Amino acid sequence: MSKNLLLGTILGGAATYVAWKCLSDKQKNNIKKNVDSCVTEVADASTDYALNALDIIDEKLAEHDASEKLSNLSSRFTKTADKVKDKASHVVDHFTNDDFDKETAEIRQQLTKNADPDIIIDATDEPEDSDSTAEQDEKADSAKEVKDDKE
């Protein structure tokens, strides 16, 4: 079978060559123009088809990516909104249902049980004869500067 194919190709090529040599220059030019136009049309059609196919694929990929991103964003927004609602309800519940007077009284009782004299539970007036710590620090700094200047 391959011998027949080879023989047919050789005979067909020889016949084409003989026919080509028998044509006039005008006929050869017409055939060349027709073949060139057919090749150009086929190349243009295949290029257009390939570009259209690529555009369709790009659009589908963009739609898929956009819808996936949108669904991810929507789910994250929903989760965040749920967290905010939970926190808000917790804060509202804390301020409306908790008894702050009771909690404060419990803390005061615990502090009064503590024997540490440095803890002041209710300070209404500061002692007049003692300086505040800020004033004491300021006096110490100025005394230190005077001492450094003398040296």
pLDDT (tens place) for every residue of the chain, 151 residues total: 788 999 999 999 999 999 989 989 999 899 899 988 998 999 999 998 988 888 888 888 777 777 777 777 777 878 888 888 888 888 877 777 766 677 777 777 777 776 555 656 665 655 555 555 666 666 666 665 655 555 5
Would you say 139 and 131 are in contact if contact means Cβ atoms under 8 Å apart?
yes
CA distance between the termini of the chain? 119
pTM confidence score: 0.35
Q: Give the angle subtended at the CA of 73 by the CAs of 69 and 78, to the nearest 5°.
A: 150
